Amino acid sequence: MLPRPAIGTVAAEARVSIKTVSRVINNSRRVTAATREHVMGVIRRLNYSPSPTARRLAGHRSYLVGLPFDNPYASYVTEVQSGSLASFRDANYQVVMHACDARSPQIADEIHLFVDSVRVDGVILTPPLSDMSAVIAVLESEAIPFVRIAPSTRSDPARSIFTNDREACAAMTRHLICLGHRRIGFVIGQLDHAGTVQRYNGYCDGLETSGLNRSVRLVAQGDGTFESAVECTRRLLEKPSGTLPTAIVASNDAMAAGVLTAARMMGIAVPDELSIAGFGDEPLAAQMWPRLSTIRQPLHAMAQQAATLLMRQLRGETADHLQQPPRLIESTLVLRQSTAAARAP
C-alpha cells in the first residue's frame, strides 16, 4: 500500500492549522470560502484521504457496507447478498460487493485497500474469509465494525452468526439409518471451507450414535464440484455388491446432483437402489429429478441477522449489550424423493 499523507502534511503544506483542515474535510461552515478552496487544492494535490477511523469519529458515514467474498457457489453469494439487503434496505445502507481470492498471500492487503477506497462503514465476512485472522486483524486495526457468518469456532460470539452444520448432518445420517440403511457413503467437499469438516464430522457422529462403524471404503474426497462427485461416486459404486453403499450423503447439493448422475450412468435406480442426500437446499435441489432430500442451510436468515447485528454495532451499541449467547440459526432437514427405505437384503 502507498503511504498515506497525514493530515499534518496537508496542514503544513496549506499553512493552516490541523483543526482548519479537519473543518474543511467535515464541511464545517466556520471556514471562509477562500481558505476552503485553498485547502481543498492541497488535499487534491497530495491525494490525501482522511483515515476511515478519523472519519467515523467525525460522525461521517458512507452508508456502504462491504461484502467481500470468495465463494464459488452463485447460490451462496446470491443468498447472502439478498439476505443482508433485506435488513439494510430500510436503514438505507447499500452493499458493495468485492470478489477476492482467499488463498492469495496478499488477501489482507487487498481487504485493506478495499475498505479504505470504498470507505465502507462496516463489513460482512462469509466463509472462508470469516475464519481468516489476517483479514480480521486488518478490520480491527482500521476500527471497522464487522460480523462473521459461520466461523468455525465459537470464540467470537459477539460478532458471529452460527449455524449447526454438524448436528444437521448427524440428523440426516441418523434419518438414513432409521430408513434401514447400514452402509452409508459420504462424499467430502472442498477442504479449505470450514463447513466441510463440520459436515463430515456430523456424518461420523450420526454413525457413532447409532452404533455403526465408520469405513474408509465408504468415504470419498471430492472438491465441492458436480464433476468431482461423479468421479467419487463411480469409485464408491464399483465394488462387489455386498459392500456397496445403499445411501450416499454429499457435502453439498451440486455434489449430490453429481452422485445422482453417476448412479444414472451406472443404471442404478434412485431411490430404490440408492438413496441420496445433499446439503444446502439450493434451488437445484428442488429442480432435479427425483427431487433431492437435503439440509436447508438458513443462509438468507443468517445474512439478515448478520446485517442487523452489524447495524447495531454501527449505531454504537456497546460490547456489553452485544454479549449474548451465540446467535444460532438452525439448519433443518428437508425430505424429498431421493431418499427411501433401504431395500431388504
Residues lying near another protein in the complex (CB under 8 A) are found at 25-27, 43-44, 47-50, 59-64, 74-75, 77-78, 81-82, 85, 91-92, 94-99, 114, 117-119, 226, 254, 257-258, 260-261, 264, 283-284, 286-291, 311, 314-316
Q: Is the CB of 242 or the CB of 316 nearer to another protein?
A: 316
Closest CA to 199 of 253, 241, 142: 253
Nearest to 188 by CA among 240, 235, 133: 235
Q: E strands along the chain, which residues?
A: 64-69, 94-99, 122-125, 146-149, 160-163, 184-188, 219-221, 247-250, 275-277, 294-296, 327-329, 332-334
Q: Output 119 or 183, the one with its CB closest to another protein.
A: 119
- In which element (H, E) is residue 314 found? helix 299-314
| Type of residue numbered 40 | M
Give 86 or 171: the residue with its C-beta nearer to another protein: 86
- Provide the minimum distance between the beta carbon of 289 and another protein in the complex, in angstroms, as a whole number: 4
Q: Which 3 state secondary structure label does DSSP give 261?
A: helix
The CB-of-278 to another protein minimum distance in angstroms stands at: 11
Question: Which of residues 48 and 162 has its CB atom nearest to another protein in the complex?
Answer: 48
Shortest distance (Å) from residue 242 CB to another protein: 16
Count CA atoms within 13 Å of residue 162 on its CB side. 19
- Based on CB atoms, which residue is closest to another protein, 172 or 263? 263
Residues 182, 212 contacting (CB under 8 angstroms): yes
Cα dihedral: 258, 245, 186, 272 (round 10): 50
Q: In whole angstroms, how close is the CB of 118 to another protein at the nearest point? A: 5
For residue 165, which of 202, 114, 134, 137 has the smallest C-alpha distance?
202
46 vs 341 by CB, closer to another protein: 46
Across-strand partners of 247? 184, 275
Q: Name the minimum Å distance from CB 247 to another protein.
A: 18
Least separation in angstroms between residue 8's CB and another protein is 17
Grid cell at residue 47 = 491525494
Q: Are 294 and 339 in contact (CB under 8 A)?
A: no
Closest to 129 (Cα-Cα) out of 149, 153, 155, 109: 149
Q: Shortest distance, CB of residue 300 to another protein, whole angstroms?
A: 10
Q: Are 219 and 196 in contact (CB under 8 A)?
A: no
Q: Which is nearer to another protein, 227 or 330 (CB)?
A: 227
**For residues 149 and 170, which CB has a smaller minimum distance to another protein in the complex?**
149
Q: How far is the CB of 90 from another protein (least distance, A)?
A: 9
